[in-house]
Structure 1
Amino acid sequence: MADDVFPHRTARLTLRFHESRDHDDLLRVYRRDDVARYLLEEPWTDEQTSERLAKRITRRTLFDEPHALSLIIEDEQGRYAGDLALWLTDVEHGQAEVGWVLDPGHAGHGYATEAASALLKLAFTRLDVHRVKAEMDARNAASAALARRLGFRLEGHMIEDLYCKGEYTDTFVFGMLARDLPPS
């Protein structure tokens, strides 16, 4: 199977690859303190946004290098609502990790659930993924709730396992197999 499934449309959203036109939307969201709080990076600058976007533009396949997908979530009006990433951590055995960031201005509409659910279904049915994990800062209650809604099971709570931004933080590790997907 090839990962030529993008852009992918859900009932309300479009999942598509990053493009150079996404710079301003990424900067607007990733420069926010409330978004960066639970990420490994500080809020982005204009220069960092350009560098990170250039890397994301190349992440278009799980089957060849870089074995990663970086996707924009667009709402019904074609506006940036957030982004998703899926990358293989073990290419030979189909082990992947997923991550998500939602534009706070689009919170509360179920977009993250709809988009991540679609990506997970594609990962298991079209992209030859066997297992997906999601790791997150344990203080990020919204992200943990999303993982549970998607059908992930909590597999670990690491205590102060990461020193980031001047403090030790806990990490939640969630896991999912195809059989864990909620029925469509």
Structure 2
Amino acid sequence: MESLELPLTTERLRLRPHRTSDAEALLPIHSREDVARYLLKDPWTAEAAETEIVKRLPRTGLATESRALALVIETAEGLDAIAGSRVIGDIGLWLEDIGDQKAEIGWTLDPAAGGHGFATEAAIAVLGVAFGHYGLHRVVAQMDARNTASAKLARRIGMRQEAHLRKDWWSKGEWTDTLIFGMLSTDRQTA
């Protein structure tokens, strides 16, 4: 499997590997109660942010030892003017089984950046890499069923809801429902 050339760029975004300085940039997003509510981890503290970023630093592609891709989503006025960019979230893709044909995608976005199509743009770019570069057969997204914004995003990018698992996940002191969305390589529409 050929290594992935990073960063990924879209019309308005740069998706790049994590740097140690991203602990400070992502802390204001991941420390929010309303953001962490539907994530598996509690809101980040400064210490947790540093720990999480260290875990993400080696996740530079599915063909690496980490078998994962973790990218920071940042905006830019013009892609050459990266100094004027702003970190608005992160997105990841990781192989979910022993084979190299199925992966899971996940995203976290600053609510202040919502409503502009940034998450859609980032997710479509990562799905493009999943199917186009890595030749995956299937990508899934699993989420807390109460996370309606993520469910809408999954539908918007062409993923199909395949399951609604009732009270199947113990999270933060309560049983929660899980939605599972999937996309096959044959489902993907390319522009």
| Shift in Å, 1:81 | 1.3
Preserved contact between residue 3 and residue 127 of structure 1 (Cα < 8 Å): no
Q: C-alpha separation between the residues in 2 aligned to 1:170 and 1:103? A: 23
Alignment of 1:77-156 (within 5 A): 77-156=84-163
Preserved contact between residue 150 and residue 181 of structure 1 (Cα < 8 Å): no
| Shift in Å, 1:93 | 4.1
**Superposition CA RMSD, Å:** 1.1
Q: C-alpha separation between the residues in 2 aligned to 1:63 and 1:4? A: 8
SS of the equivalent of 2:112 reads helix
Match of 2:186? 179
Match of 1:28? 28
The yes-or-no answer on 1:37 pairing with 2:37 is yes
Q: Which amino acid aligns with 2:118?
A: Y
Unmatched segments (≥5 aa) in structure 1: none
| Shift in Å, 1:2 | 1.9
The yes-or-no answer on 1:167 pairing with 2:174 is yes
Preserved contact between residue 105 and residue 139 of structure 2 (Cα < 8 Å): yes
| Shift in Å, 1:64 | 2.8
Match of 2:68? 68
| Shift in Å, 1:71 | 0.2
Deviates more, 1:105-114 or 1:70-79: 70-79
Q: C-alpha separation between the residues in 2 aligned to 1:117 and 1:5? A: 17
Q: C-alpha separation between the residues in 1 aligned to 2:64 and 2:72? A: 20
Q: C-alpha separation between the residues in 2 aligned to 1:173 and 1:3? A: 29
Aligned length: 184
Q: Which amino acid aligns with 1:33?
A: E
1:121-179 CA-partner distances (Å, limit 9, x unpaired): 11101022211000000000000000001110011000000111111100000000122
| Shift in Å, 1:20 | 1.0
Q: C-alpha separation between the residues in 2 aligned to 1:129 and 1:8? A: 18
| Shift in Å, 1:63 | 1.2
User: Moved runs in structure 1, 4+ residues, more than 4 A?
Assistant: none
If the length of structure 2 is used for normalisation, what is the TM-score? 0.93
Q: Which amino acid aligns with 1:135?
A: Q
Q: C-alpha separation between the residues in 1 aligned to 2:98 and 2:16? A: 23
Unmatched segments (≥5 aa) in structure 2: 77-83
| Shift in Å, 1:103 | 1.0
If the length of structure 1 is used for normalisation, what is the TM-score? 0.96
Question: Percent of pairs identical after alignment?
Answer: 49
Q: C-alpha separation between the residues in 1 aligned to 2:14 and 2:2? A: 19
